[in-house]
Amino acid sequence: MIIEDDRIDREIYKGDLYVEPTDLNQLVRDACDSLRASIPKSIRLDIPAGRELPPVTTDSRQMRQVIVDLVMNAVEAIPEDAAGTISVRTRPMEVGAGSTALVTAGRYVVLEVRDSGRGMKEETQKRIFDPFFTTKFLGRGLGLAAVHGFVRSNGGDIQVDSKPGKGACFRIFLPAMHHEAESRRVAC
C-alpha cells in the first residue's frame, strides 16, 4: 500500500502500521522506564526533561522499538566491567537549505542517543545499517538495519558520529507535523 502525506512523498510501508500523531518525549520516557531493569547498574541512563516538541506522524509501537534498539546497542557498546553513561535527548530543529544534515530543509524532531562506549572505526560506521552486519559474537545484525528502514520509511534519516574510544551518537531526524493529521491504519 502507498501512503501520501504532505511530508512523506510516496513511501511503501510493509506490515501493519498504525500511523498517528505521536509525542516523542512521552515515547522516550516510556521506553526508557521499561528498560531500566535491563541496564547494568554501572551504566547511568540520562533522560533530561525534553522541551515541548511538535508531534511526529509515526507508528508509536515501531518508534518505541527504535528507541529500545538504540539504547540497548548503546548498553552493549559499554564494556561490561566499566561504568558508563547513555544519554537520550529530543529537540526540535529547523534544517536550512544549506545544512550538512542528510535530510531536506524543513522542521524536524531530533532523537539523539549518545553513549560513552567503545566507539566505532570509520569502516564499521559505513556498514552498521547493512542487513546481517554485526560486530557481536552472537549478533544477527538486524537491529540497526531495521531502525534505518523504519526511520527512512517515515521520511527521516539517521546520522552517526563515533570515534574509537570516544563513544557514539545516533541522531534520528523525523519530520515534524505541520498540522493535525488523522490517525490511520495501514496494511499491506
pLDDT tens figures, 27-83? 999 999 999 999 999 999 999 877 889 999 999 999 999 999 999 999 999 998 889
What percent of the chain lies above the pLDDT cut of 70? Answer: 78
Q: Provide the whole-model pTM.
A: 0.80
Query: d(Cα 180, Cα 177) in Å, to the nearest integer?
Result: 7
Reported as a single tens digit per residue, the pLDDT across 54-67 is 999 999 999 999 99
Work out the end-to-end distance of the chain between its first and last CA atoms, rounded to an integer number of angstroms. Answer: 5
Q: How confident is the model at residue 101 (pLDDT cuts 50, 70, 90)?
A: low
User: Is residue 182 classed exposed, middle or buried when 0-12, 13-18 and 19+ CB atoms within 10 A define those classes?
Assistant: exposed
Q: Please tell me the CATH code under which domain 2-187 is placed.
A: 3.30.565.10
Mean pLDDT of 10-26: 71
Query: d(Cα 15, Cα 3) in Å, to the nearest integer?
Result: 13
Helices 60-77, 24-35: inter-axial angle, 10-degree rounding: 50
Residues 2/17, Cβ–Cβ less than 8 Å: no
Instruction: Report the phi/psi class of residue 170: left, alpha or beta, with left for phi > 0 and alpha for psi in -120 to 50.
Output: beta
Domain locations in the chain?
Answer: 2-187
Cell digits of residue 121: 572505526
